[in-house]
A = this chain, B = another copy of it.
Amino acid sequence: MDVAVLGYGTIGSGVVEVLKVNQDVIEKKAGCPLRVKYVLDLRDFPGDPVQRKLVKDFQVILQDPDVKIVAEAMGGLHPAYEFVRASLEAGKSVATSNKELVATYGAQLLRIAEEHHVNFFFEASVGGGIPVIRTMNMSLTPEYFIEVMGILNGTTNYILTQMEEAGATFEEALKQAQEKGYAERNPKADVEGYDACRKIAILSSLAFGKTVDYEQIPTEGITKITLDDLKVAKALGRKVKLVARSYQADGKVFAKVSPLLLKLSHPLASICGVYNGVLIRGNMVDDIVLQGKGAGKKATASAVVADIMTAARYFPYRISARCHWEEEILDLTDSRLMAAAYMIRTDCPVAASTPYFAQTVPVSGVHAFTTGLVNEQQLSEIREALTEAGCGILGMIQMN
């Protein structure tokens, strides 16, 4: 069966590599050989055997009836969306690693795939090689999902781990991440939490059945996290993690991306470096936690190839149809309405008489305290009391 790969960057070249290196097992398990017939890229790759499969015009792929499966690894919304849509409409199954595409057009593309009796798969769009999409869609099918919570961005987790373990500042750790190829030259999408936000939007849409608009998810990154915050976290027996989370309570759905102070016993607290982890809570199975490499060429490409193989294995049967994700936008409830406890770091000692004060965190040279459970209104009271006492807030992180 012929496959076309769109984009020969990290993931696209990884897909070609995985299909080649593991050719034997892939042919056996897919039930047929999988051949890469075309690779679409505007660049040339002289010396790379891919060169003779390179095409620069997508129409060549679209109009070739031998191509039954398209792997999209271009990233970005356009022209990825147009190419994926045209492929589906031409009766080709699609496997994509493009989280922005899936977060924005996932429900629509699933509908188009259904109308054209083909598959739209996107395992690699969240969590790299971790099979979280298939676990939600095919394994935890009897569950009412209560919560999805994850460390979904490897770059920020690497930075936080470096700060914690090597005492690097945020800037130093970011530079190391860039040198190691974990962070882009423009790291904004990672460090501001936008990447994690798109990924939790996809998981939340699958969990709750309607489209979660990522622009409605309150998102805070890790750029304000300092070494002092990590010292306080340690004194509290906790870890600072960038957590993307959504959950439902009383028929309302909440979603948020922000740093959280996780207890050491929390299953996501031990996810370090570039690893990702996802906790899924169902009403019957309780908590399932998946962890693994959340990024990286081979791990992510393996997830794309698994999707290609599923499309091939059951061809011409369409297996992705019953993915319950409607185009209708889900009403999110403002997560600030939910009560939470906070760690607040200040520039002077704070009196125990401060409203909702719970305890001082004893760290030499740092002033920090924790609060009881407070909502946004009560948090404002705390802020006012601190201002009146002449105390400035240097940092504030929610505790979980």
Could you list which residues of chain A lie within 8 angstroms of chain B, going by C-beta atoms?
A: 18-19, 21-22, 25-26, 28-31, 123, 129-131, 134-135, 138-144, 265, 267, 270, 282-293, 296, 298-299, 301-303, 305-306, 309-310, 313-314, 317, 319, 322, 324
Q: Given the complex, which residues of B lie within 8 Å of A285, measured CB to CB?
A: 129, 292-293, 298-299, 302-303
10 A-B residue pairs with CB within 8 Å: A22-B143, A129-B284, A138-B138, A140-B302, A265-B270, A267-B291, A285-B293, A285-B302, A288-B292, A289-B290
Interface centre among A144, A284, A299 (most CB of B within 10 A): A284
Q: Once the chains are docked, how many angstroms separate the CA of A125 from the CA of B13?
A: 38
Given A139-B123, A143-B25, A288-B129, A322 and B313 contact (CB-CB distance below 8 Å): yes
Contact with A310, one of B25, B130, B138, B303 (Cβ below 8 angstroms): B138
Task: State the copy count for this chain.
Answer: 2
Please give me the residue from chain B that is nearest to A133 by CB atom. B139
Q: Once the chains are docked, how many angstroms separate the CA of A171 from the CA of B91?
A: 63
Please give me the residue from chain B that is nearest to A301 by CB atom. B284
Q: What's the nearest-Cβ distance from chain B to residue A151, in Å?
A: 13
Q: What's the nearest-Cβ distance from chain B to residue A393, in Å?
A: 34
Q: What's the nearest-Cβ distance from chain B to residue A277, in Å?
A: 8
Q: Given the complex, which residues of B lie within 8 Å of A26, measured CB to CB?
A: 141-142
Q: What's the nearest-Cβ distance from chain B to residue A174, in Å?
A: 24
Given A29-B322, A285-B293, A290-B290, A134 and B142 contact (CB-CB distance below 8 Å): no
Query: 7 tightest A-B contacts by CB?
Result: A131-B139, A129-B285, A288-B292, A284-B302, A142-B305, A285-B302, A284-B298
Q: Once the chains are docked, how many angstroms separate the CA of A21 from the CA of B143?
A: 10
Q: Once the chains are docked, how many angstroms separate the CA of A31 from the CA of B323?
A: 11
Q: Given the complex, which residues of B lie within 8 Å of A141, measured CB to CB?
A: 26, 29-30, 305-306, 309-310, 313
Contact call A291/B288, Cβ cutoff below 8 A: yes
Q: What's the nearest-Cβ distance from chain B to residue A121, in Å?
A: 11
Q: Given the complex, which residues of B lie within 8 Å of A22, measured CB to CB?
A: 142-144, 283-284
